[in-house]
């Protein structure tokens, strides 16, 4: 890979893939290991030979790029991995659950009150 001609996030993705290949995790996808963001970013800076006048600014810039790129996923405690390593988590929804708006709920309550009043009037007659 030509680090100097590649974008920061391309280099970061390559570093993550290379990191896991070095660990022997290419065959077993359940064993992929994310990297700590600062280690990843410092490695990008090193490989791209970026001139760094302000390290916090450089870290912030690359972190923002990684955060906005869909190839990366935040795992926990500052750890980042590649999205392709992790299966898509599907949210379970229940078809039996029905949400009722406040207006609809108020309308139902008013109807019940009106019915109750009507029944009490009929009883008093």
Q: Tell me which CATH code domain 3-85 carries.
A: 1.10.10
Instruction: Please report, for the chain, the start and end positions of each structural domain, with discontinuous segments joined by +.
Output: 3-85
List of E strands, 1-125: 35-36, 72-76, 79-82
Q: What is the pTM of this model?
A: 0.62
Structure confidence by residue, pLDDT tens digits, 31-85: 788 999 999 999 999 999 988 888 899 999 999 999 999 999 999 899 999 998 8
Residue 96 three-state SS: coil
pLDDT value at position 43? 93
Please provide residue 74's backbone torsions phi and psi, each rounded to the nearest 5 degrees. -80, 130
Token pair 């974008």: residue: 7
When comparing pLDDT for 21 and 116, which is higher? 21
């Amino acid at each position: 890979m030509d680090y100097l001609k590649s974008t920061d996030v391309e280099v970061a993705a390559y570093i993550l893939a290379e990191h896991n290949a070095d660990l022997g995790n290419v065959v077993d996808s359940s064993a992929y290991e994310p990297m700590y963001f600062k280690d990843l970013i410092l490695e990008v800076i090193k490989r791209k030979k970026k001139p760094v006048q302000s390290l916090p600014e450089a870290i912030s810039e690359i972190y923002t790029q990684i955060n906005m790129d869909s190839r990366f996923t935040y795992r926990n405690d500052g750890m980042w991995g590649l999205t392709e390593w992790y299966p898509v988590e599907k949210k379970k929804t229940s078809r039996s659950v029905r949400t009722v708006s406040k207006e609809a709920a108020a309308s139902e309550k008013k109807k019940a009150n009106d019915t109750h009043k009507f029944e009490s009037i009929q009883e008093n007659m």
